[in-house]
Amino acid sequence: MESENPTIVQETPEYYYDLSRRELMAGKVSLQACFEQVNDPPNVLRLGTLLRDRSIDIPFNEHTRTKRTIKQILEYGRWLCEVVDPPILPNEKTLNHDVINRASKLGLGPTAWEIRSHPKLGSLSKFYVELGVTNTKRNGAFKDWSYGDFVEYVRTVSENLGRKPTLADLEQLAHQDTINPSAYMITQRFGSLRAIYEHIGHPNIYSWEEGDYLDWGVKFMLANDGALPSQKVIDTLSKLKKGPSAAGTASHFGGSLTTFQQKVEMEYAERLERKQVEKIEMHDTIAYKLELGLLPSTLFEDLGSEDDMIIRYAKFLVVDDLLHQSKNDSKISISKGLGRSYAELGFVRSIRRVNSAITAGDIESSALYQGVFDYIWPPDTTYMETLKLPEELRAPKRQRHLVIV
């Protein structure tokens, strides 16, 4: 199957697999010989069925991982497409991540990870393209997509539908065109559809706990220059499906809306203070590392503002973590966003251009681990924009919270 000089045949023989002896057999002659050579009936299944049917447990066959040429990998992929049974489920694909890994578990070839890690491939999508196979799951197609890309996609779907998209809506769009991510792909990145719905202004209030109400109240104050949400304001936004009702809110705070407002005001002040302290600490860290020579000074040339310094530092931390073997000039260019290619690709794709095995998820995980995620990808403000109120609905100025910077 994976030799450099394979024997060309006109017809692919039927393949079988003995689960008891963990052996692959080609053709009915081999199958008959297997039944004649053993005393106990062998546990033999058609290989195509074994690769497709996930209800069948298969053993792990220990085998040596060997480096394969691109020719060998593509030859193996074509063979898999020929031997695997047709899809069982309505929207299942001919070749997918699961089929590839089940075959690898049997010791027949490389894992999906080994395939996408090959320097001439970089993703399963490219593997499928090279094979010329169209009916495939594009498991690697969204490696470039950041959180913002998913949010923008779901927001566009919502605007086109004129309502919050359902799981069925997202699945239907994914089945219509593989350029659209499935609901499963979205939940893999966000943990739930609820999380991404809240990003586009559709909070699932029925599942809120006290912390969710306080977070909503803080967002309201940030959107309205520190004004506290009054009962009238809360009910107005509730009717617009942009927040909870006043009665529902009060019920989570001992029946008192005043208690809610007091806690929101405290949380708002604490959050502003934390943000200011974090900013000072970040500047001190940068200065300290520059003094020790742990950061290249050229990283901070031609700054537009002090905030740009923190953003560049945050990006450099991620780039240095994931592309530590790259030259400093390359890492600095990506961190500063220099060059025409960066303007076209952006931060995530610029990193993946250097190493395609790194996914957008890997990049975001690195930023989260180092505590710089929000500096690189500031929280989406679209939902907060919907919380802005016209002046006549705001509390009188004498009742408004004063923001001290």
C-alpha 114/C-alpha 109 separation (Å) is 10
- The answer to whether residue 137 scores a pLDDT higher than 60 is no
Per residue in 290-333, pLDDT (tens digit) is 998 889 989 988 887 788 899 999 999 999 988 888 888 889 99
Which are the contacts of 162, defined by CB distance < 8 A and separation ≥ 6?
none
For residue 52, the SS3 value is: helix
Number of other residues whose CB lies within 10 A of the CB of residue 401? 17
Confidence of residue 251 (pLDDT cuts 50, 70, 90): very high
pLDDT given for residue 39 in this prediction: 54
Asked if the model's pLDDT at residue 258 lies above 90, the reply is yes
Mean pLDDT value of segment 162-185: 79
Rounded Cα–Cα distance for residues 263 and 216 (Å): 12
> CA 139, CA 405: separation in Å to the nearest integer?
47
Q: How far is CA 335 from CA 113, 143, 283, 342, 348, in A?
A: 28, 20, 17, 10, 11
Report which residue type is found at 378.
P
Whose CA is closest to 236, among 392, 128, 362? 392
Name the one residue in this structure whose structure tokens are 């943000």.
Answer: 275
Q: So what's the pLDDT on residue 250?
A: 93
Q: Could you tell me the pLDDT band of residue 92, with boundaries at 50, 70 and 90?
A: low
Distance CA 188, CA 192 (A): 8
Q: Percentage of residues in the chain with pLDDT exceeding 90?
A: 14
Structure tokens at 296: 């290249």
Average pLDDT over residues 50-58: 80
Show the tokens assigned to 64: 């040596």
Strands in 67-186 per DSSP E:
none
**Taking the alpha carbons of 197, 200, 206, 207 in that order, is the dihedral positive or negative?**
positive
Q: Can you give the pLDDT at residue 393?
A: 64
Proportion of the chain above pLDDT 70, given as a percent: 78
Q: Residue ranges of the domains in the chain?
A: 15-131, 147-199, 295-371
Residues 6+ apart with CB under 8 A from 76: 1, 2, 68, 108, 109, 110
Cα(143)–Cα(100) distance, integer angstroms: 19
pLDDT at res. 166: 84
Confidence of residue 7 (pLDDT cuts 50, 70, 90): very low
At position 249, the amino acid (one-letter code) is: T
Which amino acid appears at position 179 of this protein? I
Is the pLDDT at 256 greater than 90? The verdict is: yes
Contacts 24+ apart (CB under 8 A), 164-172: 164/197, 164/200, 164/202, 167/193
Instruction: Report which of residues 197 and 334 the model is more confident about.
Output: 334
**pLDDT score of 36 more than 90:** no
The answer for residues whose C-beta is within 8 angstroms of residue 213's C-beta and 6 or more apart is: 244, 249, 252, 253, 260
Banded model confidence at residue 284, pLDDT cuts 50, 70, 90: very high
pLDDT range class, residue 353, cuts 50, 70, 90: confident
With cut-offs at 50, 70 and 90, classify the pLDDT of residue 85: confident
Say what the pLDDT of residue 254 is. Answer: 92
More confident residue, 233 or 37: 233
pLDDT for res 311 = 92
- Tokens representing 365 are 């995980």
Whether the predicted model's global pTM rises above the 0.75 cut: no
187-227 pLDDT, tens digit each: 777 777 777 887 777 777 877 888 889 988 998 998 888 88
Partners of 18 in beta bridges: 23, 44
Instruction: Report how far residue 259's alpha carbon sits from residue 265's, in angstroms, rounded to the nearest whole number.
Output: 10
- Classify burial at 377, counting beta carbons within 10 Å of its beta carbon; exposed 0-12, middle 13-18, buried 19 or more: middle
Q: For residue 360, which of 168, 174, 203, 148 has the smallest C-alpha distance?
A: 148
Stretch 341-367: mean pLDDT, rounded? 80
The whole-chain average pLDDT of the chain stands at 78
Return the residue matching tokens 């490696």: 143
Identity of residue 60: F
CB-based burial, 337-369: b 16+ in 10 Å, e otherwise: eeeeebeebebbbbbbeeebebbbbbbbebbee
**The dihedral sign for the CA sequence 32, 34, 35, 41:** negative
Average pLDDT over residues 118-129: 75
